[in-house]
């Protein structure tokens, strides 16, 4: 006859899969392919489940403010995480920089007009320019900083088309609905031969492009969220991010908490 301890051990082993945890991660849409690949590798290794939601960082932050059940937020800019921090919604001790990126100017693959710089956006042949909505899309915020730096923002204002997120901007360019668009380098890589990169913005033209992750304060699964975040920042996670074109910021370990 089996002892009580033996029976308990069999039950425990038999239900081990039920002990796997599940977390909800909201991430900037520009990380969609890389974070999806990281989550798949993580799930295969840990047997935990990672539920992913992608969108513009501003829209995701608004959802968190409205009570969306999110455990980990990965933003394409510091601002959205700072806003959540000031609202008391993120754990400042668990903020971490996970990647960096570059901003590029793209045109449709079959574009006839020759363009090689942001300054040429003012040319008469450039009818419409797509950028992310600056109020909610970090890529749009960075794009407007570049245009302002080059004294083009006012002149181009009537020709700007705003996308709900950076992938919509990319889609506008791929379909030839605009003359040009400003997206991340990683988005252009994702589009492949559907677009052409004609210029890369100098880092001095905009704020540093920083992907900042933070664990949500009221999450009931902070330990599991931190475990996944550690995996994102591990050598395995970095190799996947790099394969999609992201760069690793020097000394990227954790971000400082914002001033209140």
What is the pairing mode between strands 180-184 and 103-108?
A: antiparallel
* pLDDT 10s digits, 168-199: 999 999 999 999 999 999 999 999 999 999 99
Dihedral through CA 216, CA 219, CA 223, CA 224, nearest 10? Answer: -100
Q: For 104-163, how does the pLDDT look when each residue is reduced to its tens digit (9 = 90+)?
A: 999 999 998 789 999 999 999 999 999 999 999 999 999 999 999 999 999 999 999 999
> Given this model, what pLDDT does residue 61 score?
98
91's tokens: 């754990």
pLDDT at res. 248: 87
Each residue's pLDDT tens digit, 207-244: 999 999 999 999 999 999 999 999 999 999 999 999 99
> Largest Cα–Cα distance of the chain, in whole Å?
89
Position 258 pLDDT exceeds 50: no
Give the HSE-up count for residue 96: Cα atoms under 13 Å, Cβ half-sphere. 17
Residue 58: which domain range? 20-100+209-243
Q: What is the pLDDT of residue 140?
A: 98
Identify the domain boundary among 158, 180, 205. Answer: 205
Q: Are residues 146 and 218 in the same domain?
A: no
Structure confidence at residue 145 (pLDDT): 98
Q: What is the pLDDT of residue 9?
A: 42
Q: Let me know whether 125 and 187 are in one domain.
A: yes
Flag whether 130 is in a domain: yes
Sign of the CA dihedral 157, 162, 167, 168? negative
Is position 174 within any domain?
yes
What pLDDT, on the 0 to 100 scale, is given for residue 4?
45
Q: Is the pLDDT of residue 20 over 80?
A: no
With CA atoms as reference, report the closest residue to 196 among 221, 216, 179: 179
Q: What is the structure's pLDDT at 250?
A: 66
Question: What are the tens digits of pLDDT across the range 84-107?
Answer: 999 999 999 989 999 999 999 999
Q: Are residues 167 and 227 in the same domain?
A: no
Domain for residue 254, yes or no?
Answer: no
Q: Residue 194 has what pLDDT?
A: 96
The answer to whether residue 9 sits within a structural domain is no
- What's the pLDDT score for residue 56? 97
Hey, what are 199's tokens? 């210029």
State pLDDT tens for residues 23-72.
999 999 999 999 999 999 999 999 999 999 999 999 999 999 999 999 99
């Amino acid at each position: 006859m089996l002892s009580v301890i033996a029976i308990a051990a069999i039950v425990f082993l038999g239900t081990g899969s039920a002990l796997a945890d599940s977390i909800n991660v909201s991430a900037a849409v520009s990380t969609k392919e890389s974070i999806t690949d990281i989550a798949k590798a993580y799930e295969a290794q840990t047997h935990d489940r990672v539920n992913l939601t992608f969108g513009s960082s501003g829209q995701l932050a608004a959802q968190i403010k409205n009570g969306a059940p999110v455990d980990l937020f990965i933003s394409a800019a510091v601002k959205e995480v700072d806003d959540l921090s000031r609202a008391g919604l993120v754990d400042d001790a668990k903020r971490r920089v996970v990647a960096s990126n570059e901003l590029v100017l793209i045109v449709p693959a079959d574009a006839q007009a020759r363009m090689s710089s942001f300054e040429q956006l003012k040319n008469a042949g450039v009818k419409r320019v797509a950028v992310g909505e600056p109020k909610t899309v970090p890529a749009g915020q960075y794009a407007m900083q570049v245009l302002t730096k080059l004294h083009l923002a006012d002149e181009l204002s009537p020709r700007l088309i705003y996308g709900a997120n950076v992938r919509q901007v990319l889609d506008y360019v791929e379909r030839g609905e605009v003359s040009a668009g400003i997206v991340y380098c990683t988005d252009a890589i994702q589009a492949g031969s559907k677009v052409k990169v004609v210029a890369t913005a100098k880092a001095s033209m905009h704020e540093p492009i920083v992907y900042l992750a933070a664990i949500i304060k009221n999450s009931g699964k902070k330990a599991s969220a931190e475990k996944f975040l550690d995996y994102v920042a591990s050598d395995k996670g970095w190799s996947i991010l790099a394969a999609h074109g992201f760069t690793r910021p020097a000394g990227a370990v954790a971000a400082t908490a914002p001033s209140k």
